[in-house]
Amino acid sequence: MDTGKKIFIVGLLGTVLLLLFFFSGNRGWQGDGIPPYTIAEGVVRGEVYVDGGHGYTGENPYLQYFKLPSGDIKYARLYVPVWNSKSGNSIRVTVNGKDLTIRQEPDYVSAWGVGLYCLETNNSLHSGMNEVSISPEIPGGGPYGTTLVAVCENRSMSPVKFWINEGNYALAYTNNKDNVTSTFEGTSPGKNSSLYTMVVAGTEGEKDELYFDSMNIGSDIFRSAQGKYFDLFSTSVSPQSTESSLCFERGDEGYLHPCVAVLVSESGSNDEYLELHEQKNAEGEQVPLPVIIVCLLACLAIAVRFRKR
């Protein structure tokens, strides 16, 4: 076999090995993820509680306390974003001292192992102070934080309409994804509303942008404000149409993962309901083109070096 063919085979094998190593399910790119979409919506006479914290610390167990308002809990969802999610890892979650679950695979995972666990906690919470304990078995990783969204009924209050959106989408220079949009269907124009977003991997000083119905509502707001790599942002908004949109723009951020968006609005109806939607699954992994190019260039450099010898 002549030298040229040997170099070609070496380069080809090198490319295959690099792709298998870097993009295997255990250690590599795990896809762009899923843009936040509506998992639950409805109208309740009461309020929607949204709170969380406190950033990546490496502590085990990871403890967070939530003080819920008075009333009956109609629906609750606990979100646990984690770093370095790999096959075989798991988290154990207890609420008020009682085991809630032991989970291995996250509900959503993207990029280099950013995972999001979504746990229903309707029957585990009560009014007043609640303790959530998360024990991760994630070598070299752990929770970025945790966020609780709870729909609380209080018959003495006015009705509110709500949308709970969840997902995990990788905005990154690696995959050339600069923005992603999450929508809320059935909004009422002009109604006073509150917006909450949970985003991980934001960095202070790397300017990002957030738009609601095409109006800029913040710059550099995902800056580890609640703790390392964790942001739970809230603000007042007013829908402009019957379908409102929330657009996350990466800007100067190297990585940004929009995971949760909650909209709570004045209700134009007294008819109460809770509608739960089917959970979506991410499509197969897609290796980012820029990373493929880097691998190919690396193999080419090796081949050229062999030729010189």
In angstroms, rounded to a whole number, what is the distance separating the alpha carbons of residues 246 and 267? 20
The pLDDT tens digits of the residues spanning 181-198 come to 999 999 999 999 999 999
Mean pLDDT of 265-288: 83
Q: Of 70-79, 186-195, 288-297, which range is least confident?
A: 288-297
Span 227-262, pLDDT tens digits:
999 999 999 999 999 999 999 999 999 999 999 999
Higher pLDDT, residue 93 or 7: 93
pLDDT for res 23 = 46
- What is the rounded distance in angstroms from the CA atom of residue 115 to the CA atom of residue 33? 10
Assign 281 a pLDDT band (cuts: 50, 70, 90). confident
> Regarding beta strands 72-83 and 142-143, do their DSSP bridges make them parallel or antiparallel, or are they unpaired?
antiparallel
Question: According to the model, what pLDDT value does residue 20 have?
Answer: 46
Closest CA to 112 of 294, 259, 285: 285
pTM of the shown model: 0.86
Q: Give the residue, 66 or 8, on which the prediction is more confident.
A: 66
Share the mean pLDDT of the chain. Answer: 89
- Could you give the C-alpha distances from 229 to 83, 213, 234, 299, in angstroms and in order? 10, 26, 17, 34
pLDDT of res. 293? 56
Q: Which residues contact 250 (CB under 8 A, 6 or more apart)?
A: 171, 172, 177, 178, 179, 208, 256
Would you place residue 106 in the very low, low, confident or very high pLDDT band (cuts 50, 70, 90)? very high
Kindly state the average pLDDT of the residues 9-33. Answer: 59
Question: Is residue 282 very low, low, confident or very high in pLDDT (cuts 50, 70, 90)?
Answer: low
Q: Which residue has the higher pLDDT, 19 or 305?
A: 305
How many CB atoms lie under 10 A from the CB of residue 284? 5
